[in-house]
Structure 1
């Protein structure tokens, strides 16, 4: 063991310090992350020593006690998730009890959230990202029903639902408010269907006021798209990955969640197609343009981590290597836009850009709907507002006076 850690590690876990360091390094953590995790384990070893406990006595309850103390002095690495890699190593060494006995006890709220998520996936057929969004949006309501550590749903009334909605929704903007209302209705339907509440309370949730097609889809100009792509430094691994992602967004019009869901197996290089996993668990094949394929191949050849597990196409640049999610992709686009001086740009704006450009080049609304893979023509109707060629045909001449005196 190096001199630094020989001083830091004391107590019953000191003999495993070298093994812990090797285990964390094998997971491709950065040196600084390995150091932080070793500091966590050094503290746990000292805590065990102070408690006069052996590693074999490191039960779920004892881990909970340690983490509760750590939360008082640290703002990171204070959950069972942070200990998971080390616990797995120590379990293999036979030093601590099986991992199954160390799982954090599921709270009442977590149990309902898990069952609700399973219901959305199995009964409603929602996609993973949609089910996760519903659970997150419904979480404040469940937290509001938690009384003194107990989740009270049995006594839930229509008045309780109305009180929560009237108190919570005014603090949200339109899109999150609508999403919360939808999630809350689904949660209440689930609670009634599963017998947790005896009355159907979903109809109590009011509708958020909104006007369909009131907005105007504004896209980027070709120069702005070029600037956005140019903001990715392709001399770096991150830059090549980001350039490939934004090329996919701009040329194929995919949603951020659809880009996050792409796998290595979704690209058929021989046929020149890519399979997109869209809304409602639908799978559709799209042509793979040459520039998109080139951007992806450059990323795969020189930027995608070779040790990354799984088959996800776009991966985090730093360990632990895992697939990017919808939020991280949208954040990446926003950062590139900031570097390009374009202000606030979300990933979905590139989808709008593709649609408006297609219309301005003469495509019909039906063709744009097919391009965006809309299930309903109504979803494409909003783009009629930016159909410059057809709107010009409807414009009437500006009235002028015939009297020139």
Structure 2
């Protein structure tokens, strides 16, 4: 309640007389649940009351509040412009969740390309069972390709040629990495196969998109040593909420070889304490179960009991400052790794979360694990993904390496 925030009760009553007054108490509770300290909440409520006064002057009903109105409000206020937008947007989100303001309306894409992209996206989800991230990425490539080929004119899929496909890829090959060009080609092949199956094109043009520009097993895994991994874990201050959270994240990556996205998606129900298992939702919505190692369970328990902020989100890992909500996906998880690497004084060639996954695979093969065992732990869908670890098994490589020829010696 606002009354407890002010020495003079009339101050709270004055705020309640504004157009947005009836929702200020619930808005204050909403901010409290997001972890905002008292000082910030009072500032947000005061600025929200000012927004209410502006809306009354503009004769703008509460139910018509939207992002455009907030932009206009901020532009018309000559002071504290940078501080006004965030409280207003938070209030708008709160009013929408309370049903006071209609949900945000996404303007539909009515371009000539949209129906083809929508149809392809539906096929990817319902027929191919692709993950949402894959669907969005592939559709983005298709949209770019069709826009470049047909411009603002009508789309005639039957006139697409191999020259169009090669031109699209060649135009970007000089600006993008080979891996990224491979991704564009893969997305186009998928789309072109879809068109051929639907008889939208007279021939299967998927073969016109070149295969991989990066040779299989052309690189070696990027990894750090077990001692360096211990150094990363030691950078976490287990007496702080941030240190407990980061240690739990690093242990999951280093001991179980999880992907960053898998760590970010972990929820309470995924930790099966009684059976000693952890449920992992991997690529393509595949669900796996891994053993809950003692070190992993200990780090998770300490974070959940002593470090995790109060929040209604089912996700395990949260932001530590307001607004308190789930951690921002795989990039946030990789950010935890990069921070630990910097604190440990390391300088590996790559610094994301996948570094620890590769390090686990490297440790396993050097400890005598087979390729199939590594693939099972890392949950690779294809053994080809695991074969790369054979290149760091130096002892095994020495047994098959041929001696360097010396001049004058017979072979």
Q: TM-score, normalised by structure 1?
A: 0.78
Q: Indicate the larger mover: 327-336 or 134-143.
A: 134-143
90 and 386 in structure 1: CA distance in 2 versus 1, 3 angstrom threshold: closer
- Residue 175 of structure 1 corresponds to which residue in structure 2? 179
Alignment gaps of 5+ in structure 1: none
Task: Compute the displacement of 1:348 (Å).
Answer: 0.8
- Aligned equivalent of 1:223, options 224, 227, 232: 227
Task: Compute the displacement of 1:18 (Å).
Answer: 4.4
- 1:331-356 CA deviation, whole Å, 9 max, x = no partner? 21112111212234111111111111
- Residue 297 of structure 2 corresponds to which residue in structure 1? 293
RMSD: 4.1
- Aligned equivalent of 1:107, options 104, 109, 112: 109
In the aligned structure 2, how far is the partner of 1:391 from the partner of 1:352?
19
- Residue 261 of structure 1 corresponds to which residue in structure 2? 265
The residue correspondences of 1:93-242 to structure 2 (distance < 5 A) are: 96=101, 99-100=102-103, 102-108=104-110, 117-135=121-139, 140-141=144-145, 154-155=155-156, 157-158=160-161, 162-187=166-191, 204-207=208-211, 209-242=213-246
Alignment gaps of 5+ in structure 2: 76-80
In the aligned structure 1, how far is the partner of 2:364 from the partner of 2:295?
18
208 and 51 in structure 1: CA distance in 2 versus 1, 3 angstrom threshold: farther
- 8 Å CA contact 1:137, 1:180 repeated in 2: yes
1:52 correspondence with 2:59:
yes
Task: Compute the displacement of 1:225 (Å).
Answer: 0.6
397 and 104 in structure 1: CA distance in 2 versus 1, 3 angstrom threshold: closer
32 and 333 in structure 1: CA distance in 2 versus 1, 3 angstrom threshold: farther
- 8 Å CA contact 2:271, 2:277 repeated in 1: yes
Task: Compute the displacement of 1:29 (Å).
Answer: 4.0
- 8 Å CA contact 1:129, 1:257 repeated in 2: no
Task: Compute the displacement of 1:278 (Å).
Answer: 2.3
Task: Compute the displacement of 1:243 (Å).
Answer: 0.7
Task: Compute the displacement of 1:362 (Å).
Answer: 1.6
- Residue 325 of structure 1 corresponds to which residue in structure 2? 329
Q: TM-score, normalised by structure 2?
A: 0.77
1:345 correspondence with 2:356:
no
